[in-house]
Amino acid sequence: MATRIPFIKTYSTTQELVQLLKTRGMEITDEEKVLHYLFHISYYRLSAYMYPLLSIPKEQHLFKQGVTLGRVMMLYRFDKKLRLLLFNEIEKIEVAVRCAIVNFGTEMTGNPFWMTDANNFSNPSKFNRSIRLIEDELNHTKEDFINHFKETYTNLYPPSWMLTEILPFGVITNIYSNIKNKKIKKSIAQSFGLQVAPFDRMSRPWITLPTDPLKVYFDLCIIKYFLDIISPNSDMLDKMNRLFATFPEVDKAALGFPSGWENEPLWQ
């Protein structure tokens, strides 16, 4: 492990940061506009979008010739719109996964309260952690339907279809991974064309071109895979194309898009 050192960097005012950008080679013609962006967005947040615009070696922190804050803001706005696009599509997938876990789990156990029954799970300590998280959510939620359940029924926990509406998605996936009955897990996974171990073997079109799993393109492919099942008429590809048309300067290769990606069966 690398040796740790004290943090000794000091705070810089926006005026000082403008001068720093100038010394690093950024072309600044409207200093007031730069000050406005740095004050309302922050240099630290924007620095992530400055990084791709640095010359090699990037450790020197010198900008490529002709770089302006306008180019930085272009990348910032593109990233913001891309995130909104992704979050909108991911929400559809999350809802579908929650429904599948509730539907198959409840039907195959025959128990509306199966999520809080230790007999349905393999790892007791993992189950106990899930119960603590469930209780924490129940104690803090302001949802009317949960308060109505508490006031009306004697059961310690609500049924699974209520719990899934208030639990964070991470808790839901932990519950899934701990299900003892392999047939339940298999049924849930197969409803999305997957094996129990996600993406171990897939029954639907998937990536055929070499792809970096750490790049955003890989995430887009995962989203598209699920949408083809839960929302076959999704306009995700149209939204992507419109976004890239709005920001033609964005380098798709830097996002992990391989040459010829449009011809992948997944995107047809």
Asked whether the beta carbons of 69 and 37 are under 8 A apart, the reply is: yes
34-38-41 Cα angle (round to 5): 130
State pTM to two decimals: 0.84
Confidence (pLDDT) at 46: 96
Residues 190, 198: Cα–Cα separation, whole Å: 10
> Long-range contacts of range 186-192, CB-CB < 8 Å, 24 or more positions apart?
187/104, 187/108, 188/100, 188/101, 188/104, 188/105, 191/100, 191/104, 191/229, 192/96, 192/97, 192/100, 192/226, 192/229, 192/230
Residue 195 phi/psi, 5-degree rounding, is -90, 175
In angstroms, how far is CA 224 from the centroid of its own chain?
A: 14
* Farthest CA pair distance, the chain: 70
Confidence (pLDDT) at 1: 60
Residues 6+ apart with CB under 8 A from 209: 258, 259, 260, 261, 264
Confidence (pLDDT) at 15: 95
Q: What is the 3-state secondary structure (H, E, C) of the chain?
A: CCCCCCCCCCCCCHHHHHHHHHHCCCECCCHHHHHHHHHHHCHHHHHHHHHHHECCCHHHCCECCCCEHHHHHHHHHHHHHHHHHHHHHHHHHHHHHHHHHHHHHHHHHCCCCHHHCHHHECCHHHHHHHHHHHHHHHHHCCCHHHHHHHHHCCCCCCCHHHHHHHCCHHHHHHHHHCECCHHHHHHHHHCCCECCCCCCCECCCCCCCCCCCCCHHHHHHHHHHHHHHHCCCCCHHHHHHHHHHHCCCCCHHHHCCCCCHHHCHHHC
Confidence (pLDDT) at 197: 64
Confidence (pLDDT) at 56: 93
Q: Which residues of the chain have pLDDT under 50?
A: 199
Token couple for 107: 């039907």
Confidence (pLDDT) at 3: 87
Token couple for 238: 């149209």
